[in-house]
Amino acid sequence: MHAPTHGTLSVVIPTYNCRALLERHVAEMAAWLDLADEVIVVDSRSKDGTREYLAEQLRHPDLRFIDRDRGLYQSWNEGIAATKSDWVYVSTAGDTIERAQLLKLMKAGTEAKADVIISPCRFVDEAGQALPGTTVGNPAVLRGFGGRTFVVEPPDVRDYVALDAGIQGVLGSCASDLFRGEFLRARPFPSNYGTHGDIAWTLRHAHEMRLCVIPEIGSTFCRHEKERLEEPAELTEIFDRIYATEIRAGGPLPGLALSLAIRRWRSRRKQYAREGAPFRGRLASLVGFFLKVLLAIAQAPRKVRRLRAASTFELD
């Protein structure tokens, strides 16, 4: 079992008709499952043997199953609400983490007193083979710290999320991250943004979270065939709605108006490209570039202050 100083760990496994991904997933989990104090499988009434396979193959003294109707983040939230541990790890089907990485996240979270600990991951296919040149590494967040572990205090996390990292640049894959149980249980994931509730959650709570960033890669994210892919216009609408709505939860944010304007012009550029209007697309690109320059100039003093305020530390 893990060292007591790391705290206790709950693992939540949300599933729906993902039997094809589970053999590799369960095999990888076997290397670290003894670190967990409880394992909760939330299955949305799978019809492909998912639940039966996990009941047969998962070996843990405190393994529980929750059966419920479909709903991606509703399933996450129900499983998370049932946890009792200091830390919560969401083990999504097909995504894996190494034992050493999970221990590192727990140790860093304990030492940094963090609410959320994030780390980069590698993309793999359904067979677990690496997809070349694809890494979710939160690059905009990591650049300023030379590959060192660091901590960002609230409310500065909001600036990183909204103005530096971009809408998808912080959490990356949740299967690469760890959450303080008390913090996560009090803040359910939004379920009104399709498959992007984790992005909305980050924006909604960025102003109140203490964030720890681990630069090393120790996990994978599986790119598998989705049941439904959003059309580009629909995806843009969802992201714009998330960005405009959820970031306001923390109150006024200098530079937010410019950031929203940049997103609007980026959306227009993509729309003009779909409509076959290259001149309008180039004009939208120029306007977006000009606004980015203005935002960079306006944010420079705050960015310097954030970099100075964030603290780096070494893990033993």
Residues 176 and 280 in one domain: yes
pLDDT tens readout for residues 183-228: 999 999 999 998 889 988 988 998 899 999 888 889 998 887 765 5
More confident residue, 297 or 84: 84
Q: What pLDDT band is residue 233 in, cutting at 50, 70 and 90? A: confident
Structural tokens at position 266: 């980026």
SS3 call for 30: coil
Could you list the beta-strand ranges (E) of 55-187. 63-67, 87-90, 96-97, 116-118, 121-124, 130-136, 150-152, 178-180
Amino acid at 258: L
Please tell me the distance from the alpha carbon of residue 254 to that of residue 294, in angstroms, as a whole number: 12
Structural tokens at position 136: 């979710």
Q: Which residues, other chains included, contact 227 with Cβ-Cβ below 8 Å and sequence gap of 6+?
A: none
pLDDT of 255 > 70? The answer is: yes
Mean pLDDT value across residues 258-265: 79
Q: What pLDDT is attached to residue 43? A: 98
Residues 206 and 245 in one domain: yes
Range of the domain at 87: 1-94
Residues 55 and 108 in one domain: no
Mark which of 75, 94, 113 sits at the end of a domain.
Answer: 94
Number of structural domains found in the chain = 2
Residues 185 and 310 in one domain: yes
User: What CATH number should be reported for the domain holding residue 10?
Assistant: 3.90.550.10
Q: What pLDDT is attached to residue 185? A: 98
Q: What pLDDT is attached to residue 140? A: 55
Residues 268 and 144 in one domain: yes
Average per-residue pLDDT for the chain? 85
Residues 77 and 106 in one domain: no
Q: What pLDDT is attached to residue 110? A: 95
Residues 5 and 142 in one domain: no
Q: What pLDDT band is residue 136 in, cutting at 50, 70 and 90? A: low
Mark which of 34, 68, 94 sits at the end of a domain.
Answer: 94
The pTM assigned to this predicted structure is: 0.86
Q: What pLDDT is attached to residue 195? A: 87
pLDDT of 129 > 80? The answer is: yes
Mark which of 94, 118, 146 sits at the end of a domain.
Answer: 94
Residues 229 and 296 in one domain: yes
Residues 201 and 57 in one domain: no
Amino acid at 20: A
Q: What pLDDT is attached to residue 165? A: 47
Could you list the beta-strand ranges (E) of the chain. 9-15, 38-43, 63-67, 87-90, 96-97, 116-118, 121-124, 130-136, 150-152, 178-180, 211-213, 219-222, 311-312
Residues 80 and 103 in one domain: no
More confident residue, 31 or 4: 31
Q: What pLDDT is attached to residue 107? A: 95
Residues 243 and 118 in one domain: yes
Residues 259 and 188 in one domain: yes
